[in-house]
Amino acid sequence: MLITIKNKGTLIIDNFTFKCSVGKNGIKKNKIEGDNATPRGLFSLGKLYYRADRVQRPGTRIPTKIITKKMGWCDDPKSSHYNREFVVNRKVKHEKLFKKDNSYDYFVVINYNTKKIIPFKGSAIFIHLTKNYKKTAGCIALKKKDFLILIKLINKKTKIKIY
């Protein structure tokens, strides 16, 4: 199964085509931390995270994890935790996963710069929720109903092609 992102606003999977949003500065081959761009390339997917205090565990064939108040995703290139989930530490720059808004009620990790992590190459690239298709800091965002269809279709072997 392949998810395709093209034309900076279209996500295609199987027989479904969804409107989506990408980074404020479009899609870039040479992404760097803080450039507000979505990385170009072919990537595998990681876990589905969800807020069990707000939403139910969705039907999916990929691993899931409940988001807790102490969870963050490190976006500090100087940290040994860079581009990983970790227990929030005020000294380390990070993205809160337990957000006040609903954008991270569900999200799937895009495995960009997650295996052999290169500092400053970019971090915290997710498929998450949106209500208004506002441009992101580099993630891909979908409406909740479309996201829930997407996660029912994907499995551990699914890849995402962004171009």
pLDDT of residue 90: 84
Residue type, 27: I
pLDDT of residue 7: 76
Residue 69, CA atoms < 13 Å, CB-side half-sphere: 1
- What architecture is domain 2-162? Beta Barrel (2.40)
Nearest CA among 162, 143, 149, 136 for reference residue 41: 162
Whether the Cβ atoms of residue 96 and residue 111 lie closer than 8 Å to each other: no
Q: Where in the chain are the domains?
A: 2-162
* Predicted TM-score (pTM) of this structure: 0.96
Q: Which residues of the chain have pLDDT under 70?
A: none
How many Cβ atoms are within 10 Å of 116's Cβ, its own excluded?
6
Compute φ and ψ for 44, nearest 5 degrees: -85, 175
